[in-house]
Structure 1
Amino acid sequence: MQRYFVPPEQLAGGLARLIGEDAHHLAKVMRAEPGEEIIVTNGLDREVLVRVSVIDKGLVEAQVVRELPMDREAAVEVWIAQSLPKGDKLETVIQKCTELGADRFIPFLSKRTVVQYDEKKEAKRLERWAKIAKEAAEQAHRNRIPAIDGPVGWKRLLELAKETDLALFCYELESGFALRELLAKQLAVPSADGRRPRILVMVGPEGGFTEQEAAEAEAAGCRSISLGKRILRTETAAMAALTCIMYESGEMGVKG
């Protein structure tokens, strides 16, 4: 069944409205007709099954049939911090990690980042990344769309790491295999305020992190981890780490 995220003002009372690209997709691509049912969510606190009543140029209106539970988000809140990679690799990371359940993406600049950061292009890239996250969240039947930050510097990332319960620093020179133990220890302790455990995954650029960055991350309280004996591509590392976290937190291998 098709699922669409809309701003809260487009889901009010017993009526849902799709406009723009969403309306075009449902009407022209999916060839929906009045009477068909879809799912609409505001990405915050409401998700509903609706029945299409009006299909017009650039507008679809649907009547609420019933409220649906908001229960598809993971039991753990995961932030993916990805050093800006070349080409469209970050788009792949955002798409696949959104499907897997990531809550936030933090692109950052590190010592070996080879991408030339262009502030003038930032708004356009953020718009592109947000669209990819929205479409991936719809495809995965998630209740919320992950947040995507604008690129930050290394020092700012280390400050953000202190806002999490566990910051994992993916480092190819780490000889230990403590990921499972670190996760088990963290997940066994409930948050004092009742919120979901918050875990940050830090992934370096194509050339990896420097020894200085590893030392600075450790000094900031980050835990260095290995993802195995093989060297993973930068876009693979985030997905691998996130999959491990989701498995260890009970999000995989159970009925949906």
Structure 2
Amino acid sequence: MIRIHTTSNLSVGTNILLDKNASHHLRNVLKTPLHSQIQLFNDVGQVCEGMIIELSRSIVAVKLIQAIDINTESPLDVTLVQSVSRGDRMDYTLQKCVELGVNKIIPIISSRTVVRLDERKKTSRLRHWAGIVKHATEQSGRVKLATLEKIESLENWANISTAGEIMILDPLAGTSLAKHTLKSASVTIVAGPEGGFAKEELELIKRKKLSTPVSLGPRTLRSETAAVCAMSILQALWGDLA
């Protein structure tokens, strides 16, 4: 069944007008016919099945028929601090990590980050990434959108208070993530850029944050692969990936 995120309150028996982007996606991309049944969900965990009762060039209206009691969110509260990578590589990381259950994403710029963004480009990228997060949430059956924070420098992020356990992905770390003993249900993964974090940056993170370097095995993974691998390990060992 097609799933659409909405910011509206969902109450059985009421009609919901979809926003411009959702309407365009249903009408022009998915070619969804009138009277199709779809599923809507919002930011507070409400999920309803509904029927499209109006489908025009300017309006898509859905009548809510049945509330659905479902929870597909992981028991792990995972934040991803991800160094910005180029183009489709960043899209891939965000898409797959959302599918795997990440709750918050903080894009960062470090000294070896290849991508250089002015304020206009930062705004454009964040808008694009928000779409990636939204569509991955809809496709994967999750009931809450991951939070996408503004792009930070590594130095700024290092000075922000962080709850729970922090793990830096480092191929030279002596302990692998799979053999690590998780101490908290709230976890932050810090993934570096292509070429990894500079030595000074690793020292900065360790000095500012109570963090643990962990590796992902004997092979060096690309920036866009590392976070996805770490999310898979976390969910398989301590989350809900069966």
Is this a same-fold pair by TM over 0.5? yes
Corresponding position of 2:200: 212
1:174-193 pair list within 5 angstroms: 174-183=173-182, 185-186=183-184
Q: Is the 8 A contact 1:158 1:217 kept in 2?
A: yes
Q: Cα offset for 1:235?
A: 0.4
Runs of 4+ in 1 over 4 A off after TM superposition: none
Question: Distance in 2 between the 1:31 and 1:109 partners?
Answer: 39
TM-score (norm 2): 0.91
Which blocks of at least 5 consecutive residues in structure 1 are unaligned?
Answer: 187-196
Q: Cα offset for 1:93?
A: 0.9
Q: Cα offset for 1:163?
A: 2.1
Question: Distance in 2 between the 1:42 and 1:245 partners?
Answer: 26
Corresponding position of 1:222: 211
Amino acid at match of 2:77: E
Corresponding position of 1:169: 168
* Count of residue correspondences: 240
Q: Is the 8 A contact 2:76 2:239 kept in 1?
A: no
Q: Cα offset for 1:216?
A: 2.2
Q: Is the 8 A contact 1:24 1:58 kept in 2?
A: no
Query: After superposition, what is the alpha-carbon deviation per residue over 1:99-150, rounded to whole angstroms, capped at 9, x for unaligned?
Result: 1111111111112222222122111111111011111111111111111112
Q: Cα offset for 1:82?
A: 1.0
Name the SS of the counterpart of 2:134 in structure 1: helix
Q: Is the 8 A contact 2:91 2:129 kept in 1?
A: yes
Cα separation, partners in 2 of 1:27 and 1:111, compared to 1, 3 Å: closer
Task: Judge which range, 80-89 or 19-28, deviates more.
Answer: 19-28
Are 2:22 and 1:19 aligned? no
Question: Distance in 2 between the 1:168 and 1:48 partners?
Answer: 37
Question: Distance in 2 between the 1:148 and 1:172 partners?
Answer: 26
Corresponding position of 1:158: 158
RMSD, aligned α-carbons: 1.8
Are 2:82 and 1:82 aligned? yes
Which blocks of at least 5 consecutive residues in structure 2 are unaligned?
Answer: none
Query: After superposition, what is the alpha-carbon deviation per residue over 1:3-35, rounded to whole angstroms, capped at 9, x for unaligned?
Result: 0001226x4562222232322332344333333
Cα separation, partners in 2 of 1:63 and 1:241, compared to 1, 3 Å: same
Are 2:116 and 1:108 aligned? no
Amino acid at match of 1:168: M
Query: After superposition, what is the alpha-carbon deviation per residue over 1:211-240, rounded to whole angstroms, capped at 9, x for unaligned?
Result: 222222222211110111100000000000
Q: Identity over aligned residues, as a percent? A: 27
Amino acid at match of 2:234: I
Q: Is the 8 A contact 2:177 2:216 kept in 1?
A: no
Cα separation, partners in 2 of 1:54 and 1:87, compared to 1, 3 Å: closer
